């Protein structure tokens, strides 16, 4: 396995652990109503919420990153969603030794390509470029949790029923949030999670009124400095695959701050038979 291959495998494993951790934060009352399921199947992770049609929630990640996928595993995954009466789910297919083989298995079972994500990597030894902005960036504290949840809720249309989950995530010490302020007003947010020499950058959003003022770049820089402080060798992030007519500002900013595109992770959609 190449050096890049080993890093990508670690990134996929971190993504699985991070997703498991976030789902464990679902408040008990929400869990009783939504009946979430999280399970390792093969070397992938299945997340399922039978009361929701969200493809972000009903998703498989990490499949094949250790070379442990099989057609039997895929059939078991389909069976799990069918049993829960979930009509649609997606497989986010990451890099790995079986990627091409898994794609053939999915297409054979009438999965269809449904966009994808770009995985970007940054060498932690690179100097962090200074961000140009008139906004002030600071680490979010306990009193800012509501602002973090509000900004992310506006950007990603988070349903009101998931607000408790969002607050639990904002309060969890595994996630460190940074805010960009216009005066005293929180204008943008970004999260970082550090684990075993890797830093994940995600959960970023800017309120419409304060876009094009350098908030996203400043938050990237702040989180990278945090990663350096914790000795991270690599930072990684994922953005939606560029498509015609869709803004690609997040990807452009990440590239500007030293990230490099490692691969495209295709999404495959299953919508019944």
**Residues contacting residue 188 through CB under 8 Å, at least 6 positions apart:** 135, 151, 179, 180, 204, 205, 206, 207, 210, 215, 216, 219
| Confidence (pLDDT) at 167 | 97
Q: What is the CATH number of domain 126-232?
A: 3.40.630.30
Task: Output the pTM of the full model.
Answer: 0.95
Largest CA distance in the chain: 56
| Confidence (pLDDT) at 262 | 96
pLDDT (tens, 9 = 90+) of the chain, 273 residues, equals 689 999 999 999 999 999 999 999 999 999 999 999 999 999 999 999 988 899 999 999 999 999 999 999 999 999 999 999 999 999 999 999 999 999 999 999 999 999 999 999 999 999 999 999 999 999 999 999 999 999 999 999 899 999 999 999 999 999 999 999 999 999 999 999 999 999 999 999 999 999 999 999 999 999 999 999 999 999 999 999 987 766 677 999 999 999 999 999 999 999 976
- The domain ranges of the chain are 3-121+266-270, 126-232
| Confidence (pLDDT) at 51 | 83
Contact status, residue 108 vs residue 251, Cβ threshold 8 Å: no
| Length of the chain counted residue by residue | 273
Q: What is the 3-state secondary structure (H, E, C) of 174-192?
A: CCEEEEEEECCEEEEEEEE
| Confidence (pLDDT) at 273 | 61
| Confidence (pLDDT) at 1 | 67
- Give 91's strand partners: 60, 268
The dihedral sign for the CA sequence 155, 160, 162, 165: positive
Nearest to 88 by CA among 229, 270, 262, 257: 270
| Confidence (pLDDT) at 242 | 83
State how far the Cα of 173 lies from the Cα of 176, in Å rounded to an integer.
7
Contact status, residue 200 vs residue 12, Cβ threshold 8 Å: no
Q: What is the DSSP string of 93-105?
A: --SSTTHHHHHHH
Angle CA(51)–CA(57)–CA(61) in degrees, nearest 5? 140
């Amino acid at each position: 396995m190449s050096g890049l291959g080993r890093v990508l495998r670690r990134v996929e494993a971190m993504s699985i652990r991070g997703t498991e951790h976030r789902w464990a934060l679902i408040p008990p009352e929400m869990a009783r109503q939504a009946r979430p399921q999280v399970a390792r199947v093969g070397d992938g992770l299945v997340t399922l919420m039978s009361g929701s049609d969200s493809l972000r929630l009903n998703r498989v990640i990490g499949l094949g990153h250790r070379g442990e996928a099989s057609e039997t595993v895929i059939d078991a995954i389909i069976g799990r969603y069918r049993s829960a009466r979930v009509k649609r789910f997606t497989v986010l297919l990451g890099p790995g030794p079986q990627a091409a083989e898994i794609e053939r298995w999915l297409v054979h079972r009438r999965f269809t390509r449904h966009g994808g994500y770009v995985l970007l990597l940054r060498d932690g030894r690179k100097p962090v470029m200074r961000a140009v902005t008139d906004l002030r960036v600071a680490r979010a504290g306990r009193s800012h949790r509501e602002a973090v949840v509000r900004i992310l809720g506006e950007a990603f249309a988070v349903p009101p029923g998931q607000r408790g989950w969002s607050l639990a995530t904002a309060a969890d010490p595994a996630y460190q949030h940074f805010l960009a302020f216009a005066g005293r007003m929180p204008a943008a947010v970004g999260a970082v999670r550090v684990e075993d020499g890797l830093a994940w950058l995600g959960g970023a959003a800017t309120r419409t009124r304060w876009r094009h003022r350098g908030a996203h770049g400043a938050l990237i820089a702040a989180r990278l400095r945090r990663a350096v402080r914790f000795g991270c060798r690599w930072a990684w992030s994922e953005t939606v695959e560029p498509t015609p007519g869709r803004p690609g500002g997040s990807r452009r900013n990440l590239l500007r701050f030293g990230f490099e595109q490692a691969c495209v992770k295709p999404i495959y959609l299953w919508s019944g038979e």
